[in-house]
């Protein structure tokens, strides 16, 4: 599983995400500037592994990518400033989704976007979730 996280982390960092880690409830439970923004947290759902030739296994499952970005502004931000911040937020989500749709790695097969959710907006942060279905490969 760590090889999958490492592979996806490298790809996300190439896209400009400044902090990438495995999901463990971080965004919702611990937001006090412990991360560099924008950040991504990778959640692997259960994978149904099947034996293949030799020491190889393949499986299918879902990945949820939690994208966390800084605020859209506050009560002192002008309407124009808030619109620019929203556009920036949506642009990053779209760039990540588009890039991962065409990505194929050593341990991760083609990613199919199955759901995009604007999860929440709290304090100064915006959280979006992208859910992908894919196949995985590993050596036992």
DSSP 68-79: EEE-S--TTS-H
User: At residue 32, does pLDDT exceed 60?
Assistant: no
Task: Give the C-alpha distances (Å, rounded to integers) separating 111 from 20, 22, 26, 74.
Answer: 18, 18, 24, 36
pLDDT of residue 58: 95
* CATH number belonging to domain 2-139: 3.30.2000.10
Assign 24 a pLDDT band (cuts: 50, 70, 90). Answer: confident
- Give the integer Cα–Cα distance in Å for 99 and 122: 27
CA nearest to 121, candidates 22, 27, 18, 12: 27
Average pLDDT, the chain: 83
User: At residue 7, does pLDDT exceed 60?
Assistant: yes
pLDDT of residue 74: 55
Write down the pTM of the prediction.
0.81
pLDDT of residue 134: 95
pLDDT tens-digit series, residues 50-104: 999 889 999 999 999 999 887 655 555 566 655 555 556 668 888 999 999 888 8
Side-chain-side CA neighbours of residue 38 (13 Å):
26
């Amino acid at each position: 599983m760590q090889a999958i996280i490492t592979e996806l982390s490298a790809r996300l960092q190439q896209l400009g995400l400044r902090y990438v880690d495995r999901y463990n409830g971080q965004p919702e439970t611990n937001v006090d500037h412990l991360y560099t923004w924008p950040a991504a947290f990778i959640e692997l759902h259960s994978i149904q592994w099947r034996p293949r030739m030799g020491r190889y296994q393949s499986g299918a499952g879902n990945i949820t990518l939690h994208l966390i970005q800084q605020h859209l502004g506050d009560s002192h931000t002008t309407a124009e400033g808030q619109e620019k911040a929203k556009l920036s937020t949506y642009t990053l989500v779209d760039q990540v989704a588009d890039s991962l749709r065409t990505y194929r790695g050593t341990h991760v097969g083609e990613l199919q976007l199955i759901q995009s959710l604007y999860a929440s907006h709290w304090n100064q942060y915006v959280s979006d979730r992208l859910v992908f279905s894919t196949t995985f490969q590993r050596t036992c």
